[in-house]
Structure 1
Amino acid sequence: MKLDLEAFEVLKVLVEQGSFAKAAEQLHKAQSAVSYQIKKLESQLGIELFDRSQYRAQLTPEGQAVLEEGQRLLQQAQHIEEMAQRFGQGWEASLSVIIDGALPSAPVMRAIKTLAERQLTTRVQLKMEFLSGVSRRFERDNADLMLALDYQAHAGYQASALPEITSVLVANRSHPLSRQANIRLADLQQHLELTILDSALDESNRNDPLLFDSERVFYLSSFDDKKQALLMGLGYGWMPKYLIEDELVHGELVQLDYRPGNSYRFRPMLVQNANRSLGRAGQLLKALLEQEFEAALGQGDLLQ
C-alpha cells in the first residue's frame, strides 16, 4: 500500500476548514477532487475517517488518530525537504569534533549553543580525549575539527592558535610538599604523583611530557577526579589553573616550590584537515570557537 502525502494534507485542511467546499477553496481544487482524495485514503486504509450519518461529517475516533499521525508525517516531510535544501546550500549532514579534556568546556558549550540556536539540520558530535588520544581519535574518526592542548605540527593539518592555558604544579596545603622549599625532582619522586590517563588506545604511543616518573603514579580518568584527589591530599600533580582558581585563592591547594618550574604554558590549537574543506556549519563552528576562546581570555573567565 502506497500512501499519498497529499491525501493527509487534504485531510488536515478539510478538518481545519470544516467543510468540503471551504477545503476545496483553500486547496484550489474542485470539491469533487477533495472528496475523491478522502475516499481514496479511506479505501487504502480500510477504515472510515468520517461519520457521515449527521448533517455535517465528523471525524471518527480512527479518523482522529489518522489525522494526528498524518500531521506528524507532514511535519517530517517538511523537515526532510528543508534538510535537503540546506545540504544543497553547503550545510553538512554532520560534524565531528574532538576535544582535549584539559581545555575549558564553557567556550565550547557556548559555541555549540550559538550553533544550535541557528536551528541547523547539521548534527554535531563532541568526543573528549586526553593527551595523545586526542590526535589519535581525530585521525581514526577522520573528524572535522580538533581542539588540541599540546599540538604537534602535522603537514596534513591546518591549525590556528587559541589563547594560552597555564598548568600549575599543586598539592593540598596539608601535603608535605606544600611546606617544602626548593623542591627537586628526587623530592617529587618520593610522593604519589597524580596524572590523567592518556586515552590513546596503544600504550606504546601514550605520552605525557609533564610526568616526573615517580615510584607511585595514580592515573585518573578526568580532571574532576584529579582535583578531588588533590583536595583530599592524596598526592601532587599538574592542574589547569582555570580549574583551581578558587582553591588557590583560598589556600586549599598550594603551588609547589619546584625550582625547575612550577607552571607550564600550553598553546592550544584548533585543527582541521588541510585536504578537506569544511562546509558552512564547520566554518561557522570554527569561527564561533575562536570567538568564544578569545572572549574568555579577554574577560579572564575561562573557568566560568
Structure 2
Amino acid sequence: MEKGNHTATPHISLEQWRCLVAVVDAGGYAQASERLHKSQSSVSYAVQKLESVLNIKAFSIAGRRAVLTPAGEMLYRRAKVLLDEAASLERAAHKASAGWESEIAIAVETLFPIWLLLDCLDQFGAESPQTRIELHETVLGGAPESLQEGRVDLAISPYIPPGFSGEPLPRQARIIPVAHPDHPLHQLKRELTLRDLRKHRHLIVRDSGSQRDKKALTVEVEQRWALSSMATSIGAACRGYGFAWLPEDKIRSELEAGILKPLSLRGGGERYVQMYLIFADRDAAGPGALRLAEILQEQMAASCPDHR
C-alpha cells in the first residue's frame, strides 16, 4: 500500500470519457464517430476499454440501440462534469499565459448607476487602453442569463444564477416611487396607499432575460406599461404617463429640475436592492477582468449615496 496522500493516477483517459459522452449525446456510435472525426471502430474500442478497466457495463442493447445502464447514467453525468472542468482548466491556463485580454464582456443590471460604471470603465481604459469593452445593459434576468450562456466574463446583478458565486457590492441601489408633479396621485396631497396606486398606470421595465420569470419592483395594477428600457420608463414618467419605481441614481437631474417628484407612500415606498459582482469563472478570469472587478469594488466603496 502506498503511503501518504498521493493522488491516484487515473486509468481512463479524457479521450475515452469524451467518446462515452459523445455516444450518448450524438445518439449512437456512428453519429459519435462523425462528431469526433474518428472511425466508428476507434470510438467503440474506447468505450469497451473503459468498461473493461472499470469492470462495469455502461450500455445495454435494446433492439438496435445502445442504452445507458444505471451505472452508465452515473458515468455519463460525472464524465460531463469532468470534461467541462478539463476545458475550463485549459481556458484558465491559456488566459494565464496570454496576458491581458483583448476584450472583456460585462453585463450590468440597469439599476446600477451609469455614471459610476462609466467612471470605472474610464479608469480601466487608462490602465489597459488595448482592451476593448463590450457592455450589455440588462434588466432582472438578463445578466444571469448572459452568465449562464457564456456571453460575458463578469456581471453586476441582484440575482446570482445557480452554480455561480457573487461578491456583494458595498453600495445598494435605492429605488423610489415617483411621478410627474402634475400627476393625479400628487394632487391627493396625502399619504398614498396601494389602493390609490392601483387606480393609475404603472410603468415598469421588462425583464430582458428570455425566460422573463423575474418579477419587477411593482404592485399589481390593471393599467401597466411594460417598457424595454429604463430610459423609456423615465421618459414616460417625466411626461406624466404613469408612476414608477425608479433608481434614485438614474433620476437625480429630473428630481432636481422638478420634472419628477417622489410619491409619499404610507409606510415608506423606497426599496433597496443588493447588487453582486459575479464572474463567469473566477479561476479562468484574465488579469483584465480581475482588475476591472477590483476597480468596481474600490469605486463603489468610495462613493456616497448623495455623490451625484
CA gap 1:239/1:128 in 2 versus in 1, 3 angstroms? same
Deviations 1:163-211 (A, max 9, x none): 12211001111111113223222221110001111111124x2422x22
CA gap 1:124/1:223 in 2 versus in 1, 3 angstroms? same
The answer (yes or no) to whether the contact 1:133–1:206 under 8 Å persists in 2 is no
Task: Give 1:255's aligned residue.
Answer: 262
2:111 aligns with one of 75, 81, 102? 102
Task: Give 1:115's aligned residue.
Answer: 124
Task: Give 1:132's aligned residue.
Answer: 141
The answer (yes or no) to whether the contact 1:192–1:218 under 8 Å persists in 2 is yes
1:202 aligns with one of 192, 211, 226? 211
The number of equivalent residue pairs is 214
Q: TM-score, with normalisation over the residues of structure 1?
A: 0.63
How far apart are 1:236 and its partner, in Å? Answer: 0.3
The answer (yes or no) to whether the contact 1:98–1:134 under 8 Å persists in 2 is yes
- Once residues 218 and 297 of structure 2 are traced to their aligned partners in structure 1, the CA distance between those partners, rounded to angstroms, is 30
1:221 aligns with one of 215, 225, 228? 228
2:101 aligns with one of 92, 103, 106? 92
How far apart are 1:93 and its partner, in Å? Answer: 3.8
- Once residues 241 and 152 of structure 1 are traced to their aligned partners in structure 2, the CA distance between those partners, rounded to angstroms, is 23
How far apart are 1:274 and its partner, in Å? Answer: 5.3
CA gap 1:156/1:252 in 2 versus in 1, 3 angstroms? closer
How far apart are 1:280 and its partner, in Å? Answer: 0.9
* Aligned counterparts, 1:1-304, within 5 A: 88=97, 90-119=99-128, 121-148=130-157, 150-152=158-160, 154-180=162-188, 181-203=190-212, 205-208=213-216, 210-273=217-280, 276-297=283-304, 300-301=306-307, 303=308
List structure 1 segments (4+ residues) > 4 angstroms apart after TM superposition. Answer: 152-155
Letter in 1 for 2:115: A
Larger Rg: 1
The answer (yes or no) to whether the contact 1:129–1:137 under 8 Å persists in 2 is no
Task: Give 1:74's aligned residue.
Answer: none
Give SS of 1:190's match.
coil
How far apart are 1:250 and its partner, in Å? Answer: 4.3
Deviates more, 1:183-192 or 1:251-260: 251-260
Give SS of 2:207's match.
coil
- Once residues 135 and 267 of structure 1 are traced to their aligned partners in structure 2, the CA distance between those partners, rounded to angstroms, is 15
- Once residues 273 and 229 of structure 2 are traced to their aligned partners in structure 1, the CA distance between those partners, rounded to angstroms, is 18
Give SS of 2:304's match.
helix
How far apart are 1:275 and its partner, in Å? Answer: 5.9
Query: Could you tell me the percent identity over the aligned residues?
Result: 22
How far apart are 1:155 and its partner, in Å? Answer: 4.8
CA gap 1:143/1:241 in 2 versus in 1, 3 angstroms? same
Q: TM-score, with normalisation over the residues of structure 2?
A: 0.63
CA gap 1:163/1:275 in 2 versus in 1, 3 angstroms? closer
Deviations 1:200-244 (A, max 9, x none): 1124x2422x22121011122222221221111111011111222
CA gap 1:146/1:172 in 2 versus in 1, 3 angstroms? same
- Once residues 257 and 158 of structure 1 are traced to their aligned partners in structure 2, the CA distance between those partners, rounded to angstroms, is 34
In the alignment, structure 1 segments of 5+ residues that lack a partner are 1-85
CA gap 1:236/1:87 in 2 versus in 1, 3 angstroms? same
In the alignment, structure 2 segments of 5+ residues that lack a partner are 1-94
The answer (yes or no) to whether the contact 2:111–2:173 under 8 Å persists in 1 is no
The answer (yes or no) to whether the contact 2:144–2:160 under 8 Å persists in 1 is no
Letter in 1 for 2:237: L
CA gap 1:214/1:275 in 2 versus in 1, 3 angstroms? same
- Once residues 294 and 120 of structure 2 are traced to their aligned partners in structure 1, the CA distance between those partners, rounded to angstroms, is 9
- Once residues 161 and 128 of structure 2 are traced to their aligned partners in structure 1, the CA distance between those partners, rounded to angstroms, is 35
